[in-house]
Amino acid sequence: MTALSTTLSTTLSTTLSTTLSTTLSPAPSTAPSTAPSTAPSPARWTELIDAVRESGQYPTTAEAERVTRIVLSALGGHVTGDERVDLARALPEEAARVVASRIPATRPLTAPEFVDAIAAHIQGATPATARWDVSSVLSVLPGLVGDDLVDRILARLPQGYALLFGRAELTPAG
């Protein structure tokens, strides 16, 4: 890792850690809030892992956690800007650290390239099993972070990612 990469990684991690501590710590309030919340509250790590385990039908929690860490780390390299910060805020703190630990990619991968990159990090994975793993993690995100944020993330990723999030990818007729 170059000095610049290390500096960028440290700066990003520090910024997100500060943001997370501020965001995840309840603010003192003298009156109850009457404003409706449009985003789900940050989910706990165990809830995320349980949702991935159920979605992917993994036999153990450990396997669901391993796949979740690999997929979220890779996603963290491809989600940038406000979407990356908002994703980290909406995820459980442990998941936010995984997303933030990855230095943003210099070029976004296409959805098939993303799946292939995941396959390379999972021993014995094939493109089909890696697609299953990716979808098992990404398809639970809308319920945890909200559809609006997922829409914003998908708008910044190359075409093809919607299917990995469990959504149809409609293209205009032309």
pLDDT digits (tens, 9 = 90+) for 44-57: 999 999 999 999 99
For 116-157, write each residue's pLDDT tens digit.
999 999 999 999 999 999 999 999 999 999 999 999 999 999
3-state helix, strand, coil in the chain (%, to 5): 65, 0, 35
Query: By three-state DSSP, how is residue 42 classified?
Result: coil
Give the pTM: 0.75
